[in-house]
Structure 1
C-alpha cells in the first residue's frame, strides 16, 4: 500500500489493461493525474467503465484510441443507445455519463500526447442525447403530492408527527413556493 502512495497513486484507482495484456501507460496516467486524483472512488469506477467500453469498442473497429475519429464517437453513441446488434443498449442518460468521461479523458490526453480529440470534433448536437430523461419525469396524484410536501418539505413522519432529525432552513418558504407553483402550473 505504501508503495502506491510513494508513486502518487491511491488505493482503488483504476488501472486498465488492453486485450493483449499490456497496459497503455498513457491511458493509465489519466487516472493517476492531478485531475483524477481528487475524484471519488465512485467517479473513478464510472470513468474507468466508460473508458473501458470505449476502448473495447475501438478495438472491435480495429482502431487505437489515439487515432479515433469523430465518426467513431458518433457511432459509439449509436451503438450504445440504439444499435440492434448491441445486446445491452442503454438509456440516453447513461450515455451522457459515458460522454462526460470521454470528454474528460480526451481533454486531458489531447494536449499531452498531441492527438486529435474525437469527442471535441463531434458536434455537441450529434453526440449529446436529446429528449426527456425518463427518470426525471414524475407524476403524483394529489395524495402523493401532499405526502411528498409533508415528508420532504415540512419534515413530518408519515403519521404526521414532526421528524426531530429534519433540518430545514426555511420550511415555510419552501412549502409556500411549492404550493404556489402547483397552483400556478409552474413547470
Structure 2
C-alpha cells in the first residue's frame, strides 16, 4: 500500500507516498475505503509515484491538499523536492492544528511563532538552521500562493521572512576548457595563448 511518513499517530497529520509501479503491498480482497483497485484509482486521479497524500488528524485524505499536489505548481517539482516540501508542510499543518487554525486562515503571527519555535526556541531540542528555514519557507510560500491566502502569512521573496544567518549552498562548476585555462595561467605561468609568460618579455618588438 502507501509508505508512511514516520509513525502514524492518532490526532496528528501524516503523509503517505504513492509507491512505484510494482511496489504496492498486498491489498485487502474487499478493497480499501470502498476502492477495489487502488493503484488504478490513484493513477486515474492523476497521482504519480512519489506523490504525497496528506491525511488529516481524523484519518481522512485531505481533498484540498490533494488538489494542491496535482496542481501545476506542485506536480512539476522534482520527486525529491516533492518529498521535502510535503514533509515540511506536514510539520506546519501539525503546528497550526495545535492552535485550531486551518492553513488557509494562517496569519503572519502564526508563521512568526512557528519560525521562532523551529529556529530559536530553547525548549525545542531540534532547532534548525537558517538555510533549512529558507527551504521550509519556500514550501510554505508555494502552498499559500496556490491557495491564494491573503495576506500571505510568509513569502520567500520578502527580505524580512528570510533567515539572516542563511548560508547559500550554491556551487558553480567549471567547464573542462575553463579548468584547463585556469590551470595553465594560474599554476603553470602560461599566457591564455599557451605560451610561457616570461617569453613575452624577451620577445623583440615588432615594427
TM-score, length-scaled by structure 1? 0.67
Corresponding residue for residue 170 of structure 1: 178
Count how many residue pairs are aligned between Structure 1 and Structure 2: 146
Counterpart of 1:119 in structure 2 is 154
Q: Report matched runs for 1:14-163 at 5 Å.
A: 14-110=52-148, 116-120=151-155, 124-131=158-165, 133=167
Gaps of 5+ in 2: 1-38, 188-207
Greater CA deviation, 26-35 or 47-56? 26-35
RMSD: 2.7
- Structure 1 pair 52–132 and aligned structure 2 pair: CA distance change class (3 A): closer
Secondary structure of the residue aligned to 2:128 is coil
- TM superposition shift of 1:13: 0.4
Q: Deviation of residue 116 (structure 1)?
A: 4.2
Which residue among 51, 54, 59 is the counterpart of 1:13?
A: 51
Contact 2:68–2:146 (CA<8 Å) still a contact in 1?
yes
Say which structure is richer in strand: 2
| Large movers: runs of 4+ above 6 Å | 176-179
In structure 2, C-alpha distance between the alignment counterparts of 1:117 and 1:25, rounded to whole Å: 22
Counterpart CA distance in 2 for 1:87 and 1:42 is 26
1:44-92 deviations in Å (ceiling 9; x for gaps): 1011011101101111222111111111111111111011222211111
1:4, 1:11 within 8 Å by CA — same for their partners in 2? no
Deviations 1:149-182 (A, max 9, x none): xxx97xxxxxxxxxxxxx7233233446877xxx
Distance 1:27 1:172, change over 3 A: same
Normalised by the length of structure 2, the TM-score is 0.61
Larger radius of gyration: 2
- Following TM superposition, by how much is the alpha carbon of 1:127 offset from its aligned partner in structure 2, in angstroms? 1.9
